[in-house]
Amino acid sequence: MKYTEKDHTFVICAYKENPYLENTVSTLLKQSVKSKIMLSTSTPNDHIKSICDKYNIPFVINPTPHLAGDDWNYGYDHADTKLVTLVHQDDLYSKDFLKETLYALNRAQNPLLSFTDYYELKKGKKESRNLLLNIKRVMNYPLSKKMLQSSKWLRKRLLGLGDAICCPSVTFVKEQLGDTIFDTKYKNSCDYKTWVDLADRDGTFVYIPKKLLAHRIYAESATTLNLSENIRQKEDLEILSTLWPRPIAYVINKVYALSEKSNKV
Protein backbone atom coordinates (compact mmCIF):
# COMPACT_ATOMS: atom_id res chain seq x y z
CA MET A 1 0.00 0.00 0.00
CA LYS A 2 1.25 3.47 -0.91
CA TYR A 3 0.70 6.52 1.26
CA THR A 4 -1.02 9.50 -0.35
CA GLU A 5 -1.80 13.04 0.75
CA LYS A 6 -5.14 11.74 2.08
CA ASP A 7 -3.19 9.76 4.69
CA HIS A 8 -1.46 12.83 6.16
CA THR A 9 -2.16 15.64 8.63
CA PHE A 10 -0.08 18.69 9.50
CA VAL A 11 -0.74 19.37 13.20
CA ILE A 12 0.34 22.90 14.14
CA CYS A 13 1.41 23.14 17.77
CA ALA A 14 0.65 26.74 18.73
CA TYR A 15 1.56 28.50 21.96
CA LYS A 16 0.53 31.94 23.19
CA GLU A 17 0.60 34.78 20.63
CA ASN A 18 3.44 33.93 18.29
CA PRO A 19 4.09 36.53 15.56
CA TYR A 20 5.30 33.91 13.07
CA LEU A 21 2.28 31.59 13.23
CA GLU A 22 0.51 32.93 10.15
CA ASN A 23 3.70 32.67 8.06
CA THR A 24 3.98 29.02 9.08
CA VAL A 25 0.35 28.38 8.14
CA SER A 26 0.87 29.95 4.72
CA THR A 27 3.69 27.51 3.89
CA LEU A 28 1.41 24.59 4.70
CA LEU A 29 -1.36 25.96 2.51
CA LYS A 30 1.12 26.33 -0.37
CA GLN A 31 2.24 22.70 -0.36
CA SER A 32 2.47 21.24 -3.87
CA VAL A 33 0.60 18.22 -2.49
CA LYS A 34 -2.32 19.16 -0.22
CA SER A 35 -3.24 17.34 2.98
CA LYS A 36 -5.21 17.99 6.15
CA ILE A 37 -4.21 20.84 8.47
CA MET A 38 -5.28 21.23 12.08
CA LEU A 39 -4.03 23.19 15.08
CA SER A 40 -3.53 22.17 18.69
CA THR A 41 -2.92 24.53 21.59
CA SER A 42 -2.95 24.64 25.37
CA THR A 43 -3.08 28.45 25.39
CA PRO A 44 -6.21 29.46 23.44
CA ASN A 45 -6.39 33.15 22.59
CA ASP A 46 -7.84 35.57 20.05
CA HIS A 47 -4.66 35.57 17.95
CA ILE A 48 -4.76 31.81 17.38
CA LYS A 49 -8.53 31.77 16.89
CA SER A 50 -8.43 34.57 14.31
CA ILE A 51 -5.85 32.73 12.21
CA CYS A 52 -7.78 29.47 12.40
CA ASP A 53 -10.99 31.29 11.43
CA LYS A 54 -9.26 33.13 8.58
CA TYR A 55 -7.92 29.93 7.00
CA ASN A 56 -10.72 27.60 8.12
CA ILE A 57 -8.38 25.44 10.20
CA PRO A 58 -9.97 23.22 12.87
CA PHE A 59 -8.32 23.36 16.27
CA VAL A 60 -8.32 21.46 19.55
CA ILE A 61 -7.48 22.72 23.04
CA ASN A 62 -5.48 20.68 25.52
CA PRO A 63 -7.29 21.16 28.87
CA THR A 64 -4.44 19.73 30.98
CA PRO A 65 -1.18 21.28 29.74
CA HIS A 66 2.14 20.45 31.36
CA LEU A 67 5.31 20.30 29.23
CA ALA A 68 5.88 20.27 25.47
CA GLY A 69 5.63 16.49 25.22
CA ASP A 70 2.12 16.57 26.72
CA ASP A 71 1.01 19.18 24.17
CA TRP A 72 2.56 17.23 21.31
CA ASN A 73 0.86 14.02 22.40
CA TYR A 74 -2.49 15.83 22.56
CA GLY A 75 -2.22 17.20 19.02
CA TYR A 76 -0.75 13.99 17.61
CA ASP A 77 -3.45 11.84 19.21
CA HIS A 78 -6.21 13.99 17.70
CA ALA A 79 -4.99 13.48 14.13
CA ASP A 80 -7.02 10.73 12.46
CA THR A 81 -4.61 9.90 9.64
CA LYS A 82 -1.87 7.31 9.20
CA LEU A 83 0.83 9.99 8.89
CA VAL A 84 1.33 13.03 11.11
CA THR A 85 3.77 15.94 10.97
CA LEU A 86 3.91 18.09 14.11
CA VAL A 87 4.47 21.65 12.96
CA HIS A 88 6.28 24.13 15.18
CA GLN A 89 4.58 27.50 15.01
CA ASP A 90 7.61 29.50 13.92
CA ASP A 91 9.13 27.32 11.17
CA LEU A 92 8.61 27.42 7.41
CA TYR A 93 8.08 24.42 5.12
CA SER A 94 9.25 24.05 1.54
CA LYS A 95 6.36 23.69 -0.90
CA ASP A 96 7.60 20.16 -1.69
CA PHE A 97 8.00 19.02 1.92
CA LEU A 98 5.01 16.67 1.85
CA LYS A 99 5.65 15.55 -1.72
CA GLU A 100 9.23 14.51 -0.89
CA THR A 101 8.17 12.96 2.40
CA LEU A 102 5.52 10.76 0.78
CA TYR A 103 7.98 9.70 -1.91
CA ALA A 104 10.59 8.69 0.68
CA LEU A 105 8.12 6.84 2.91
CA ASN A 106 6.73 4.91 -0.03
CA ARG A 107 10.22 3.74 -1.00
CA ALA A 108 11.05 2.64 2.54
CA GLN A 109 10.42 -0.74 4.12
CA ASN A 110 8.15 -0.63 7.18
CA PRO A 111 8.87 3.04 8.02
CA LEU A 112 8.36 4.36 11.55
CA LEU A 113 9.18 7.96 10.71
CA SER A 114 10.93 10.18 8.21
CA PHE A 115 12.81 13.43 8.74
CA THR A 116 14.48 15.94 6.47
CA ASP A 117 17.50 18.19 6.31
CA TYR A 118 16.88 21.85 7.10
CA TYR A 119 18.43 25.29 7.21
CA GLU A 120 18.25 28.00 9.84
CA LEU A 121 16.56 31.36 9.61
CA LYS A 122 18.14 34.09 11.74
CA LYS A 123 16.93 37.69 11.63
CA GLY A 124 15.40 37.00 8.23
CA LYS A 125 18.61 35.58 6.76
CA LYS A 126 18.99 32.02 5.52
CA GLU A 127 21.92 30.06 6.98
CA SER A 128 22.44 26.71 5.28
CA ARG A 129 25.83 25.84 6.73
CA ASN A 130 27.37 26.17 10.17
CA LEU A 131 29.14 23.83 12.55
CA LEU A 132 25.94 22.41 14.05
CA LEU A 133 24.21 21.83 10.71
CA ASN A 134 27.32 20.22 9.23
CA ILE A 135 27.66 17.85 12.19
CA LYS A 136 24.01 16.86 11.99
CA ARG A 137 24.25 16.11 8.26
CA VAL A 138 27.21 13.83 8.82
CA MET A 139 25.40 12.06 11.66
CA ASN A 140 22.17 11.60 9.69
CA TYR A 141 23.73 10.56 6.37
CA PRO A 142 23.76 6.79 7.08
CA LEU A 143 19.98 6.83 7.52
CA SER A 144 19.57 8.08 3.96
CA LYS A 145 20.73 4.61 2.84
CA LYS A 146 17.94 2.08 2.56
CA MET A 147 20.08 -0.84 3.71
CA LEU A 148 20.91 0.91 7.00
CA GLN A 149 17.56 2.45 7.94
CA SER A 150 16.30 -0.60 9.87
CA SER A 151 19.39 -1.02 12.06
CA LYS A 152 18.49 -0.44 15.71
CA TRP A 153 22.18 -0.59 16.64
CA LEU A 154 23.06 2.15 14.16
CA ARG A 155 20.21 4.39 15.27
CA LYS A 156 21.25 4.10 18.92
CA ARG A 157 24.91 4.77 18.08
CA LEU A 158 24.00 7.87 16.06
CA LEU A 159 21.69 9.15 18.79
CA GLY A 160 24.48 8.39 21.23
CA LEU A 161 26.42 11.25 19.62
CA GLY A 162 23.64 13.80 20.17
CA ASP A 163 20.24 14.74 18.79
CA ALA A 164 20.65 15.34 15.06
CA ILE A 165 16.96 14.93 14.16
CA CYS A 166 15.10 18.20 13.55
CA CYS A 167 11.77 17.69 15.33
CA PRO A 168 9.48 19.80 13.08
CA SER A 169 10.82 17.97 10.01
CA VAL A 170 9.66 14.59 11.32
CA THR A 171 6.66 12.78 9.86
CA PHE A 172 5.39 9.96 12.04
CA VAL A 173 3.81 6.78 10.73
CA LYS A 174 1.06 6.74 13.31
CA GLU A 175 -0.43 3.45 12.16
CA GLN A 176 2.87 1.81 13.17
CA LEU A 177 3.70 3.86 16.26
CA GLY A 178 0.28 4.17 17.87
CA ASP A 179 -0.88 7.00 20.14
CA THR A 180 0.91 9.02 22.85
CA ILE A 181 4.49 8.45 21.75
CA PHE A 182 6.20 11.52 23.22
CA ASP A 183 8.22 11.67 26.41
CA THR A 184 6.52 13.84 29.04
CA LYS A 185 9.36 14.07 31.56
CA TYR A 186 11.80 16.48 29.90
CA LYS A 187 11.22 20.19 29.39
CA ASN A 188 13.49 20.63 26.36
CA SER A 189 14.79 17.23 25.28
CA CYS A 190 11.48 15.37 25.12
CA ASP A 191 11.97 14.94 21.36
CA TYR A 192 15.48 13.53 21.83
CA LYS A 193 14.23 11.05 24.44
CA THR A 194 11.40 10.07 22.10
CA TRP A 195 13.83 9.30 19.25
CA VAL A 196 15.90 7.13 21.61
CA ASP A 197 12.78 5.24 22.71
CA LEU A 198 11.50 4.77 19.15
CA ALA A 199 14.93 3.60 17.95
CA ASP A 200 14.29 0.28 19.73
CA ARG A 201 11.21 -0.48 17.64
CA ASP A 202 11.16 -2.70 14.56
CA GLY A 203 11.00 -0.60 11.40
CA THR A 204 12.96 2.12 9.65
CA PHE A 205 14.07 5.70 10.30
CA VAL A 206 14.14 7.45 6.92
CA TYR A 207 16.36 10.49 6.44
CA ILE A 208 15.63 12.77 3.47
CA PRO A 209 18.85 14.73 2.75
CA LYS A 210 17.05 17.74 1.28
CA LYS A 211 16.64 21.14 2.96
CA LEU A 212 12.85 21.16 3.17
CA LEU A 213 12.41 23.20 6.34
CA ALA A 214 13.48 26.62 7.59
CA HIS A 215 14.04 26.41 11.35
CA ARG A 216 13.70 29.87 12.84
CA ILE A 217 16.26 30.87 15.49
CA TYR A 218 15.36 33.89 17.60
CA ALA A 219 15.77 35.08 21.17
CA GLU A 220 12.24 34.19 22.31
CA SER A 221 12.19 30.65 20.89
CA ALA A 222 11.97 27.75 23.33
CA THR A 223 15.22 26.28 22.01
CA THR A 224 17.20 29.47 22.56
CA LEU A 225 15.72 30.05 26.01
CA ASN A 226 16.44 26.49 27.11
CA LEU A 227 20.02 26.75 25.88
CA SER A 228 20.54 30.02 27.77
CA GLU A 229 19.27 28.40 30.96
CA ASN A 230 21.43 25.30 30.36
CA ILE A 231 18.33 23.09 30.47
CA ARG A 232 19.12 21.24 27.26
CA GLN A 233 22.66 20.30 28.26
CA LYS A 234 21.49 18.87 31.59
CA GLU A 235 18.69 16.84 30.02
CA ASP A 236 20.84 15.64 27.12
CA LEU A 237 23.46 14.38 29.58
CA GLU A 238 20.83 12.34 31.37
CA ILE A 239 19.68 10.80 28.08
CA LEU A 240 23.22 10.16 26.85
CA SER A 241 23.96 8.41 30.14
CA THR A 242 21.40 5.76 29.19
CA LEU A 243 23.42 5.06 26.04
CA TRP A 244 26.99 5.28 27.38
CA PRO A 245 28.85 5.04 30.70
CA ARG A 246 28.47 8.47 32.33
CA PRO A 247 32.10 9.65 31.82
CA ILE A 248 31.78 9.02 28.07
CA ALA A 249 28.33 10.62 28.00
CA TYR A 250 29.76 13.67 29.75
CA VAL A 251 32.50 14.15 27.14
CA ILE A 252 30.10 13.68 24.20
CA ASN A 253 27.64 16.14 25.74
CA LYS A 254 30.33 18.78 26.25
CA VAL A 255 31.60 18.46 22.68
CA TYR A 256 28.11 18.53 21.16
CA ALA A 257 27.12 21.51 23.33
CA LEU A 258 29.97 23.54 21.80
CA SER A 259 28.42 23.16 18.36
CA GLU A 260 25.06 24.45 19.64
CA LYS A 261 26.43 27.95 20.05
CA SER A 262 24.93 28.68 16.64
CA ASN A 263 21.47 28.46 18.26
CA LYS A 264 22.24 31.38 20.53
CA VAL A 265 21.26 34.80 19.23
- Give residue 258's pLDDT: 77
- Give residue 230's pLDDT: 81
- Give residue 218's pLDDT: 81
Give the tens place of pLDDT for each residue, 176-205: 999 999 999 999 999 999 999 999 999 999
Which value, in Å, is the radius of gyration of the alpha carbons in the chain? 17
Q: Binning pLDDT at 50, 70 and 90, where does residue 74 land?
A: very high
Residues 6+ apart with CB under 8 A from 143: 149, 154, 155, 158, 205, 206, 207
Give the tens place of pLDDT for each residue, 130-156: 989 999 999 999 999 999 999 999 999
- Give residue 183's pLDDT: 96
Question: Average pLDDT of 53-80?
Answer: 96
Query: Does residue 221 have a pLDDT over 70?
Result: no
Residues 6+ apart with CB under 8 A from 30: 95
Q: Binning pLDDT at 50, 70 and 90, where does residue 91 land?
A: very high
What whole-number distance in Å separates Cα of residue 164 and Cα of residue 191?
11
What's the pTM? 0.94
